[in-house]
Amino acid sequence: MILPILHYPDSRLRTVAKAVDVVDDTVKTLVKNMFETMYDAPGIGLAATQIDHHQRIIVIDTSEDKSQPLCLINPEIIEKDGEIDWEEGCLSVPDYYQCVKRANHVKVRALNEQGKEFEIEADELLGVCIQHEIDHLNGILFVDHLSKLKQKRLLEKTKKSIKVL
C-alpha cells in the first residue's frame, strides 16, 4: 500500500521516533508499505516519520534497478569518520536540492525486518542516505544543516506554493 508522505514544513516531521519494541507482523507490513511508497515516489530512502508513523524504521535502496532493499529498525550509528559534501534531496522537501556536509563513512547497528541484529558499514551515497534517514527519526530535516538564510528562503518559497494550492 502506498502511503502519503508528509511535506515540509509539516510539524509532524519534527517528531522524534520511538524505538520498535518487537518486530511483529504490524512492523513487517509497515516496512513492506514503506518500500512500496519509496519506490513509487520515486526515492532512495524513507523514514517512518515521513509517513506519520513515529517508529525508528528506515528503508533504503540506492541501486538503479531496485535490487538492494535495506531495512534498518532502531538504527544507531556506532562509528563515523571522514567528511563528504553531498547534494541531497528529500521526498518531504520536493524539488529542492542542496549540498550537505556529512560523515563519509558510518558503521550502523540495527535490526532487519526479521528482528535480527546486524551491522553495516557504508560510505558515499549509502552512508549519506543512512545519515539523512536517521536524522528524520530524530526530527531533523536535511534543510536544518543549511545556513539560516537558505532555510528562510526555502520556508518562504514553500509557504507561497502552499498558498497557490
Inform me whether the pLDDT recorded for 161 exceeds 80.
Answer: no
Per-residue pLDDT at 163? 66
Question: Using one digit for the tens of pLDDT, what is the confidence trace for 28-60?
Answer: 999 999 999 999 999 999 999 999 999 999 999
Q: Is residue 127 part of a domain?
A: yes
Is residue 57 a contact partner of residue 46, using CB atoms and an 8 Å limit? no
Q: Is residue 85 part of a domain?
A: yes
- Quick one: what percent of the chain has pLDDT higher than 70? 98
Inform me whether the pLDDT recorded for 162 exceeds 90.
Answer: no
Q: Is residue 149 part of a domain?
A: yes
**CB atoms inside a 10 Å sphere around CB 102:** 24
Q: Is residue 19 part of a domain?
A: yes
Inform me whether the pLDDT recorded for 165 exceeds 70.
Answer: no
Question: Using one digit for the tens of pLDDT, what is the confidence trace for 105-152?
Answer: 999 999 999 999 999 999 999 999 999 999 999 999 999 999 999 999
Q: Is residue 122 part of a domain?
A: yes
Name the residue with higher pLDDT: 12 or 160: 12
Number of domains in the chain: 1
Annotation marks residue 156 as catalytic: no
Which candidate, 78, 22, 12, places its Cα nearest to that of 49? 12
Q: Is residue 80 part of a domain?
A: yes
Per-residue pLDDT at 164? 59
Domain harbouring 37, CATH code: 3.90.45.10
Q: Is residue 61 part of a domain?
A: yes
Inform me whether the pLDDT recorded for 61 exceeds 90.
Answer: yes
Range of the domain at 145: 11-164
Per-residue pLDDT at 159? 78
- Catalytic residue from among 76, 83, 133, 156: 133
Q: Is residue 106 part of a domain?
A: yes
